[in-house]
A and B are shown apart, each in its own frame.
Chain A
Amino acid sequence: MKKINTKGFALVETLIVSAFVVSIFTIMYTNFYPIMGEYEKRENYDDIGLLYSSNLFKGLIEKNKSYSNMNQKINSVIRSTSPLAYVELTQTDFNPSDYTSGNNSSRDCFNVLVKNAEVDTIYLTSYKISILKNANLDVQTKDYINSLPNYSNSNPGSLGCRIIVKYKSEGNRESNKNKDNDYRYSTIGVGCN
């Protein structure tokens, strides 16, 4: 009859298996934990209210695409031979004298919208954002941009540009202060062609 092996496991064997199991759990945990963090960050991205506010900026930019300052900025991100990754839009990029009787000028509209929608910064970039992903920006903005696709396979149609709007946190709204200091973001394509 075949002799039964009653030796059991050596200490070294047990340690190796334990170390192996521990390292697997560690790898699983380190991969899983950032996903949870990522999920929590994403509640600040592309909220429906922000998208509709960004849509108002889109309308304003499209109406001002021929205004010299705006046109220059659009050219620098989409038509230049060495395009910039992004430019920041300010009130000077909007026409101050296109009002008609009873109407706000584009510049007035921009300023009022920025104040009421609690906008921090508006970045103008090309519709496809592969260059923007390597740009030097603050950590929160970079996190948001990295969470977006490159849009390289989508058909932009007449949308040559894209805006990325950085809003102050919902917690910073006057009625709801001191909750947290995270910024909120949304992006939308803009017809610049």
Chain B
Amino acid sequence: MKKLNNRGLTVVEVIICFSITAVIVVSLFKIIANYNDKQYIESNKNQVITYKNIVTKTIQSDIINNKGISTLNSNINDNYDSMYNSGIISIGFNYTNGKSASIEINVKEGQEYIYFVNSNNEKEKFPLSDIGNGVVFNEPKIDYDLDNALLNIYVGINHPDLGDKYSVLDMVLPLTSKWNKVY
């Protein structure tokens, strides 16, 4: 019977193998860690988008079901600064069919939420903490164009992982007093 080769590997061969394996493992580890970060960021984005979808759908459905907003309860442009300084921005409006609703944005740090009271007086609160700790509102941009009867609401957020690129409310709302053509 032929004698088996049982010499094994030399130290140099083992070292070369280990170093090649180490290089591969380290590079793979970096790639996987990178994808892990990406997955974390994407899940955060997903939470922000879901929050925005739910809030927007809730408010817009009520507006469309009630044939659009006819008037605002007050001129938001005049009251905006005092409301922002007090920490709660409230926008009340009347619908074309005579019902009314309101949106309240609490910008106080640690208590941030959007609160919507719909035309049937049903209240829904959307806490910003639902999309993660440390998320705060940027100063909302709420502009009521009196000449054109158009309410523009843009509420951006500052997210610890996503920065300030994303918004949770971005609505252009024409008032039916001048805009019956779009409803």
Contacts and interface: CB of A to CB of B under 8 A. Distances in A.
Given A43-B49, A49-B171, A52-B60, A6 B5 contact: yes
Given A49-B171, A112-B145, A113-B174, A60 B150 contact: no
B179 A109 contact: yes
A49 B150 contact: no
A97 interface: no
B164 interface: yes
Contact of B180 (A3, A103, A179): A103
B165 interface: yes
B181 interface: yes
B17 interface: no
A4 interface: yes
A59 B174 CA distance: 12
B19 to A, nearest CB: 17
Interface string A117-143: 100000000000000000000000000
B72 to A, nearest CB: 16
A43 B45 contact: yes
B181 A4 contact: no
Contacts of A69: none
Given A43-B49, A49-B171, A63-B181, A174 B141 contact: yes
Nearest to A174: B141
B156 A176 contact: yes
Interface in A159-188: 170-171, 173-176, 179-180
Interface in B29-77: 38, 42, 45, 49, 52-53, 56-57, 60
B167 interface: yes
Interface residues of A, number: 35
Interface residues of B, number: 39
A110 B148 CA distance: 11
A150 to B, nearest CB: 26
A116 B181 contact: no
B179 A104 contact: yes
Contacts of A174: 141
Interface string A70-100: 0000000000000000000000000000100
Contacts of A104: 148-149, 178-179, 181
B170 A170 contact: yes
A19 interface: no
B172 A117 contact: yes
A157 interface: no
B126 interface: no
A188 B56 CA distance: 17
B115 interface: no
Nearest to B148: A112
Interface in B151-183: 152, 154, 156, 164-167, 169-172, 174, 177-183
B152 A103 contact: no
A109 B52 CA distance: 26
Contacts of A56: 172, 174, 182
Nearest to B168: A49
A39 B49 CA distance: 14
A1 B2 CA distance: 11
Interface of B: 1-2, 4-5, 38, 42, 45, 49, 52-53, 56-57, 60, 138-139, 141, 145, 148-150, 152, 154, 156, 164-167, 169-172, 174, 177-183
